[in-house]
């Protein structure tokens, strides 16, 4: 189990959020090749969010995380050589890099995990967690050294808090329409309201504990 000083705080501000799964735990269905909602106790269940950074900023974050791994390895020589940041992926054009942080539904000891906090710009709980990719916000995660099943060492990030400053939600297919300002006052405003129709129109459906105890030793690959 990682020690408290194996955790390194990662704080990225004003980034574009990608593939947010914050309204519950999800797992990857290999048969459907897609993520699907699941119970927190299901195998592979996790809350997660990715974010996009320019390559220059990503290079700096990568160096910071690699340095943390090397510092942990100096304390724990049994750690293998550093190989990667889990959940990091470069774009095809090389202009941006995405990182992913997760929190598993259960801790390494099998006990239930708490959901990551999701807040709005005023630091109040976000009312609607069903945000879409393209939302903007700040992410706090905890990076720690991890070893994958193949014995390779790297850095994994546990999701802690997401502040959503510019949420984006599904529009119900209304992107084809423009936002139109209210009409200016006209001379017809002197008249009273039109008579009400005889029948109504149809309705339209429209940390207090050490981090290693709080976060557990789960490895969110």
Do the Cβ atoms of 46 and 8 come closer than 8 Å? no
Average pLDDT, the chain: 84
Please spell the DSSP secondary structure of the chain, one letter per residue: ---GGG-EEEEEEEEEEEEEEEEEEEEEETTTTEEEE--TTSTT-EEEEEEEEEHHHHHHHHHHHHHHHHHHHHH-TTSPPEEEETT-EE-TTSSEEEEEEEEESB-TTSPBPPPPEEE-TTSSBPS-----TT-EEEEEEEEEEEE-TTS-EEEEEEEEEEEEEE-----TT-TTS---PPPPP-GGGGS-PPPPPSSPPPPP----S-HHHHHTT----
Give CA–CA dist 101/39, Å, rounded: 19
Q: What is the pLDDT of residues 133-166, one digit of tens each?
A: 999 999 999 999 999 999 999 999 999 999 999 9
Asked if the model's pLDDT at residue 195 lies above 60, the reply is no
The whole-number average pLDDT for the span 37-51 is: 96
Provide the whole-model pTM. Answer: 0.77
Asked if the model's pLDDT at residue 19 lies above 50, the reply is yes
pLDDT of residue 4: 72
Q: φ, ψ for residue 52 (rounded to 5)? A: -110, 140
Q: What is the pLDDT of residues 77-122, one digit of tens each?
A: 999 999 999 999 999 999 999 999 999 999 988 899 999 999 999 9
pLDDT of residue 159: 98
Which residues share a beta bridge with 10? 141
Strands 89-90 and 96-104: antiparallel
Asked if the model's pLDDT at residue 208 lies above 90, the reply is no
pLDDT of residue 108: 86
CA angle 196, 201, 203 (to 5 degrees): 140
Structure tokens of 134? 């393209």
The whole-number average pLDDT for the span 170-179 is: 55
The whole-number average pLDDT for the span 176-192 is: 44
Asked if the model's pLDDT at residue 210 lies above 90, the reply is no
Q: Which of 3 and 178 is assigned the larger pLDDT?
A: 3
């Amino acid at each position: 189990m990682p020690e408290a000083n194996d955790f390194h705080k990662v704080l990225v501000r004003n980034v574009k959020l990608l593939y947010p799964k914050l309204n519950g735990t999800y797992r990857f269905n290999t048969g459907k090749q897609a993520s699907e909602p699941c119970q927190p106790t299901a195998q592979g269940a996790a809350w997660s969010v990715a974010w996009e950074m320019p390559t220059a900023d990503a290079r700096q974050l990568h160096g910071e995380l690699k340095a943390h791994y090397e510092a942990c390895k100096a304390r724990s020589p049994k750690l293998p050589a550093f190989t990667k940041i889990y959940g990091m992926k470069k774009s095809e054009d090389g202009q941006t890099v995405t990182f992913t942080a997760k929190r598993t539904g259960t801790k390494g000891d099998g006990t239930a995990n708490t959901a990551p906090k999701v807040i709005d710009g005023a630091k109040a709980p976000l009312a609607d967690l069903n945000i879409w990719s393209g939302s903007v916000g700040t992410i706090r995660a905890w990076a720690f050294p991890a070893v994958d099943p193949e014995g390779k060492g790297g850095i994994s990030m546990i999701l802690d808090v997401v502040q959503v400053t510019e949420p984006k939600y599904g529009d119900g297919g209304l992107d084809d329409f423009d936002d139109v300002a209210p009409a200016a006052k006209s001379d017809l405003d002197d008249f009273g309201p039109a008579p009400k129709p005889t029948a109504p129109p149809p309705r339209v459906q429209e940390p207090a504990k050490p981090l290693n105890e709080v976060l557990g030793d789960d490895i969110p690959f």
